[in-house]
Amino acid sequence: MKKLFFVVILALAVFSGCKKDEPEAVEGVLTVSPTVWYATNNSGQFYVDVESNTDWTVYPDNGFYPIQSLNASPLSGSGNGSVKIEYGAASYPTPDLESATIYFKYKSFGVDKSTSVKIDR
């Protein structure tokens, strides 16, 4: 009987100590530079410097008059890094209407946050 009691107590101790570890919610911080880029009418590229203490994902979003051949690489990262932004030549009669936004999404205290780089012609 003592052995059975010991086995039951031991099993309770083992199973009560097993719980899924939740990741600790931390303050995620992310800044980008530059926050605005004025693209020429020719094709070109520039780099966005990312300073962060967390994982991040890049989402390019073209405007109503999109900037042609918009590309960002890499589309994700962790911590500090650099993202290459490439764009094509202006294709509209009034290229100054072309615009896009590059969003950088991350989490802070478990909540989705974002910052962005605005691209205008």
Note the pLDDT tens digit of each residue in 93-103.
777 789 999 99
* Cα maximum dimension of the chain: 91
Contact between residue 47 and residue 82 where contact means Cβ atoms under 8 Å apart: yes
Instruction: Read off the tokens for 84.
Output: 């290459």
Q: What is the pLDDT of residues 15-49, one digit of tens each?
A: 666 566 666 778 999 999 999 999 999 999 999 99
Distance CA 27, CA 54 (A): 9
Distance CA 87, CA 67 (A): 7
Instruction: Read off the tokens for 118.
Output: 């605005």
Sign of CA dihedral 37, 43, 46, 52: positive
Instruction: Read off the tokens for 44.
Output: 């070109």
What is the pLDDT at residue 106?
97
Instruction: Read off the tokens for 29.
Output: 């911080």
Amino acid occupying residue 110: G
List the domain boundaries for the chain.
26-120
Q: What is the pLDDT of residues 83-96, one digit of tens each?
A: 999 999 998 777 77
Topology annotation, domain 26-120: Immunoglobulin-like (2.60.40)
Angle at the Cα of 71 from the Cα atoms of 66 and 76, rounded to 5 degrees: 125
Residue 8 pLDDT greater than 60, yes or no:
no
